[in-house]
Amino acid sequence: SLPGPRSAPASEEAERRRPKVRAELGAVDRPLIVAVGSLERHRGHDVLVDAAHAWQRLDPAPLVVIAGEGPLHGELRRAVEARDLPVRLLGRREDASDLLAAADVAVLPCRSEDARSTFAQEALHARVPLVASRVGSLPELVGDAAELVPQGNARALADAVTRLLTDPEHRESLVRRGVRQAATWPTEDQTVAQVLAVYDELTQPRPLT
């Protein structure tokens, strides 16, 4: 069965806003797939749009929302309209965390390492199942807590999302793994401390030999 209300809230505030956000987007009675990032080629949103074609056969068909703006907006909009896909381009949003908390699945279809962003970490922290490209250090970052697919492969992306939407136990398993994986990451304070320690080491005067 396709997902309904999620049992693991991201936070009390986000969970409180979840029904309102889903209603605003038009995803009250259908799954919601969320991607966030600038509309540039390396972000891979064109692959996500291609994958959305496969989800039209699901009942109900999930809604895909992409938050961000950029040079590919026109191309993506034309691709959506040409095939009448259940995809909404939201443009720039200041409530990305609310969008993510409202999602049933988060997608990061990036093509390159610099597109890793903090989105993967935010998804796991928010207890939202994640499907991401297997690029750069993303596999090391998420471990077994996300569905990883070859970058640029719309079929693999579509299949991975379909598995999550149709398998509640798999979704819950990924959420549990995500909580464990996120617990292994350094906190912001720890990261700052590590950077400062490296900086101190690099700037220490070296003894003359």
Closest CA relative to residue 149, chosen from 163, 160, 138, 141: 160
Cβ contact 141:120 at 8 Å: yes
Say which amino acid occupies 132.
A
In tens digits, the chain (209 residues) has pLDDT values of: 455 434 444 567 767 888 899 999 989 899 999 999 999 999 999 999 999 999 988 889 999 999 999 999 999 999 999 999 999 999 998 888 899 999 999 999 998 865 445 889 889 988 999 999 999 888 888 889 999 999 999 999 999 999 999 999 999 999 999 989 988 887 655 545 555 555 555 666 655 65
C-alpha pair distances (Å), 11 with each of 15, 39, 61:
6, 28, 27
Domain ranges of the chain: 12-203
Order across the sheet with 130-133: list the strands. 87-91, 63-67, 32-36, 105-108, 130-133, 147-149
In CATH terms, the fold of domain 12-203 is Rossmann fold (3.40.50)
Supply the pLDDT for residue 186.
73
Q: Considering the entire predicted model, what is its pTM?
A: 0.82
Supply the pLDDT for residue 9.
45
Supply the pLDDT for residue 158.
96
Say which amino acid occupies 90.
L
Distance, in Å, from the CA atom of 20 to the CA atom of 10, rounded to the nearest integer, reads 15
* DSSP 3-state of 133: strand
Supply the pLDDT for residue 23.
92
Per the document, the length of the chain is 209
Q: Where are the beta strands (DSSP E) in 8-138?
A: 32-36, 63-67, 87-91, 105-108, 130-133
Supply the pLDDT for residue 136.
86
Burial 167-205 (b: 16+ CB within 10 A, else e): eeeebeebbebbeebbeeeeeeeeeeeeeeeeeeeeeee
